[in-house]
Chains A and B, each alone.
Chain A
Amino acid sequence: MTALEFTIVVLALSALAGFLGALTGLGGGVIVVPALTLALGVDMKYAIGASLVSVIATSSGAAAAYVREGFSNIRIGMFLEIATTIGAVVGAFLAGRVSTHALAIVFGLVLLQAAYQSFKGSPGQGRNIASDKLAARLLMGGDYPVEGKHQQYGVRNVPGGFAMMFGAGALSGLLGIGSGAVKVIAMDRVMHIPFKVSTTTSNFMIGVTAAASAGLYLSRGYIEPRVAMPVMLGVLFGALVGARVLVHARVKTLRLVFGVVILALAIEMIVNGFMGKV
């Protein structure tokens, strides 16, 4: 394959990944990494390096739109970023110690979880509980628009959410993904933050988390410019288009299709990891 052919194929795959990632809310990384490694035989380290920069691009690129909607909570995000950035540094450090086969297997397991998540769909919303003591001292509660009115919400179990965010950061640094799904679970299920606030705050956090491992990735040479260039441009383009059509899309059907795709990728990733092919 020539450099031109490689660039075009990766650009197309990445645009598709970014598009589907934006529509389902799971991000482009979970598709880009298996597509590069399984379909094109790119080394896992280059794949996660390219994925990591595309994660930053979509997170920062979409921020303006999310802010306009008025859902994200900057205090919750900033506080939990202490956990995700420390986790990301630890994860990026581990990525250099762990074999590529082991990375592929862990990646497959994360894909399995993402597939499960997309089959199950999003949980119900509309909690308006009061904050517990610690969350109140940290001034984490806020309000978000519901049918034109400001709906107050409180926050619970900050230590539990904080611990899970450390895990989300470690996965992000280890695998070059945004791990937005884990972040949403930490906020929505563990800390009882409304789903809309959780997803938008998670998107905000993903870029900062990824930036924490980017320095290590860069110094190790994981961010190969010739691979990262089409991935970053493709995912960014796909994500921007995806965000536009999101309003009209039949999200339920899409999540099912997406779930089947990543389930297949998960199995292939794990099998290849065990057989030493990735």
Chain B
Amino acid sequence: MDDRRLETIIGQLLRAGVLLAAATVFAGGALYLVRHHAEPANYHNFVAGLANTRSVPGIVVSAAHGQSEAIIELGLVLLILTPIARVVIALVGFLLERDRLYAVVSLIVLLILISSLMRAA
């Protein structure tokens, strides 16, 4: 597998991931508007919000219960995962090419991404 073929696969996967994420956000958004369209929208002052939209397990559980904001947030989490998936595939590609240097480089980037995401675990 050469770099170009690897990048083509990565590019197509990313686009599929974005479409899935956008569809999920759209579905959650439509549900939210059906239920809450007449409520006042005020975001002038920051409040940290409910815990169930601030951690990935909380989001998944609330989305499974059909809570519209959590479904939107689930789509956004899927979106955040697309670049991470990109790094994972690049890592596998470099391993297949036996390119040890760039496999290590990809692994470092992946570890930084995972350690950041663990904050919301």
Contacts and interface: CB of A to CB of B under 8 A. Distances in A.
Interface string B43-56: 11111110001111
A4 B33 contact: yes
Contacts of B10: 63, 67, 74
Given A85-B113, A138-B101, A139-B101, A61 B15 contact: yes
B39 A229 contact: no
Nearest to A210: B83
A215 interface: yes
Chain B: interface secondary structure? helix
Contact of A53 (B33, B80, B84): B80
Given A215-B117, A229-B25, A57 B72 contact: no
A228 B119 CA distance: 20
B101 to A, nearest CB: 7
Interface string A48-70: 00000100110111011111101
B95 interface: no
B79 A46 contact: no
A23 B52 CA distance: 38
B75 to A, nearest CB: 8
B1 interface: no
Contacts of B49: 221, 224
Nearest to B37: A4
A208 B15 CA distance: 14
Contact of B72 (A2, A78, A81, A225): A225
A273 B106 CA distance: 39
Interface residues of B, number: 66
Nearest to A213: B116
A44 B15 CA distance: 29
A86 B113 CA distance: 9
Interface in A244-264: none
A215 B76 contact: no
Nearest to B53: A225
A41 B3 CA distance: 46
Most buried by A among B37, B69, B87, B113: B113
A78 B106 contact: yes
A277 to B, nearest CB: 11
20 contacts: A2-B38, A3-B39, A7-B29, A7-B41, A45-B46, A53-B76, A60-B14, A64-B11, A78-B87, A82-B108, A139-B102, A214-B116, A215-B120, A218-B56, A219-B55, A220-B48, A221-B49, A224-B49, A226-B43, A228-B76
Given A1-B40, A3-B40, A79-B102, 6 more contacts: A56-B83, A60-B14, A85-B113, A92-B116, A216-B119, A225-B70
